[in-house]
């Protein structure tokens, strides 16, 4: 399901993303009105397009990439300048051991394919939650939940490692202990200037901690992102069903 809030210019545009619920696989949205080039009349406005791509990830990383790439190419064809992918766009494993086994560093093959995809399509990519083997992997054998932002040339312009880990007891689903395999990120990332405005990076469970969003807004963020991978129990508890 996708929820989004559009507020007046100079305030916040928030994208709340969660895969696996019944909504279109690709949604194209207009961001805040932005002035055209000075040669055009000052009364004219241009609405940059952004695409929100919904996927249901599996343990097959290449099959997931194929699905995501199809959506990103469609977004580019429709004229979007930035495409958002959800948390765990790379894969969702069957158990914690498989999660660790399938994880990669940012310099690995999978991110290389996404950087090439961004260059090929000429648009920015928000990769909402990558299972990252950090520089401390050999010592910790734990990973980071990393939100990666690529520009239209395929360069990594920002990375945010999820600060608030989801360690909860879920009625009807059992315990969820993200900290068993994941290390909390050490800091926030300053809002990043993009073709659609200044983006503040966050991930899923971070939305329950308003201090984070307040800090990003005070730092100049015009868009707050919460790419998410909710389950069958936690999803309906957070979002209203989308109309068909």
Would the CA dihedral through 197, 224, 185, 107 be positive or negative? negative
For residue 98, being part of any structural domain is answered with yes
* CATH number of the CATH domain containing 118: 3.60.110.10
The first and second tokens of residue 194, run together, are 């993009």
For residue 25, being part of any structural domain is answered with no
The residue annotated as part of the active site, out of 87, 132, 189, 222, is: 87
The residue annotated as part of the active site, out of 81, 189, 204, 222, is: 204
For residue 201, being part of any structural domain is answered with yes
- Lowest mean pLDDT, pick from 32-36, 152-156, 224-228: 32-36
For residue 3, being part of any structural domain is answered with no
pLDDT at 115 over 80: yes
Contact 53, 84 (CB under 8 A): yes
pLDDT at 36 over 90: no
SS3 126: strand
Pairwise pLDDT comparison (60 vs 166), residue with the higher score = 60
Q: Which residues contact 227 (CB under 8 A, 6 or more apart)?
A: 17, 84, 85, 86, 87, 89, 126, 128, 129, 147, 203, 204
* Percent over 90 (pLDDT), the chain: 66
Mean pLDDT for the stretch of residues 49-54: 94
- In angstroms, the CA 163 to CA 182 distance is 10
What does DSSP assign to residue 62?
Answer: H
For residue 161, being part of any structural domain is answered with yes
Average confidence score pLDDT of the chain: 83
The residue annotated as part of the active site, out of 53, 81, 162, 189, is: 162
| Residue 92 CA: distances (Å) to CA of 14, 60, 121, 152, 220 | 25, 8, 25, 26, 33
Pairwise pLDDT comparison (155 vs 234), residue with the higher score = 155
Domain count, the chain: 1
* Percent over 70 (pLDDT), the chain: 79
pLDDT at 19 over 60: no
Give residue 146's domain range: 48-243
What does DSSP assign to residue 155?
Answer: -
For residue 15, being part of any structural domain is answered with no
Mean pLDDT for the stretch of residues 82-99: 95
Q: For residue 203, what pLDDT is reported?
A: 96
Mean pLDDT for the stretch of residues 27-35: 54
Mean pLDDT for the stretch of residues 100-124: 97
Q: For the purposes of burial, counting CB atoms within 10 Å of the CB of 138, is it exposed (0-12), middle (13-18) or buried (19 or more)?
A: exposed
The terminus-to-terminus CA distance of the chain in angstroms comes to 11
66 is annotated as an active-site residue: no
Greatest mean pLDDT among 4-8, 23-27, 138-142, 240-244:
138-142
Q: For residue 18, what pLDDT is reported?
A: 36
For residue 41, being part of any structural domain is answered with no
Is this model's pTM higher than 0.75 or not? yes
Pairwise pLDDT comparison (32 vs 195), residue with the higher score = 195
For residue 1, being part of any structural domain is answered with no
87 is annotated as an active-site residue: yes
What does DSSP assign to residue 147?
Answer: E
18 is annotated as an active-site residue: no
Q: For residue 169, what pLDDT is reported?
A: 80
């Amino acid at each position: 399901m996708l929820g989004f809030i559009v507020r007046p210019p100079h305030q916040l545009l928030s994208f709340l993303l969660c895969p696996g619920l019944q909504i279109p696989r690709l949604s194209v949205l207009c961001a805040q009105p932005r002035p055209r080039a000075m040669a055009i009349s000052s009364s004219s406005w241009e609405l940059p397009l952004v695409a929100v791509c919904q996927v249901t990830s599996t343990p097959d990383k290449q099959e997931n990439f194929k699905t995501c790439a199809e959506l990103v190419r469609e977004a580019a064809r429709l004229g979007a300048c930035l495409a958002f992918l959800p948390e765990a766009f790379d894969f969702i494993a069957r158990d914690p051991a498989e999660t660790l086994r399938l994880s990669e560093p940012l310099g690995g093959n999978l991110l290389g394919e996404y950087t090439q995809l961004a260059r090929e399509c000429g648009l920015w990519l928000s990769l909402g939650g990558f299972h990252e083997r950090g520089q401390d992997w050999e010592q910790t054998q734990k990973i980071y939940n990393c939100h990666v932002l690529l520009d239209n040339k395929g360069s990594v312009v920002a990375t945010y490692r999820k600060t608030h880990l989801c360690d909860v007891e879920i009625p009807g689903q059992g315990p969820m202990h993200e900290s068993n395999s994941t290390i909390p990120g050490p800091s926030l990332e300053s809002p990043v200037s993009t073709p659609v405005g200044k983006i503040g990076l966050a991930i899923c469970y971070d939305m329950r901690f308003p201090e984070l969003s307040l800090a990003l807004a005070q730092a100049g963020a015009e868009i707050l992102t919460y790419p998410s991978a909710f389950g069958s129990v936690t999803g309906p508890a957070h979002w209203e069903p989308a109309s068909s």
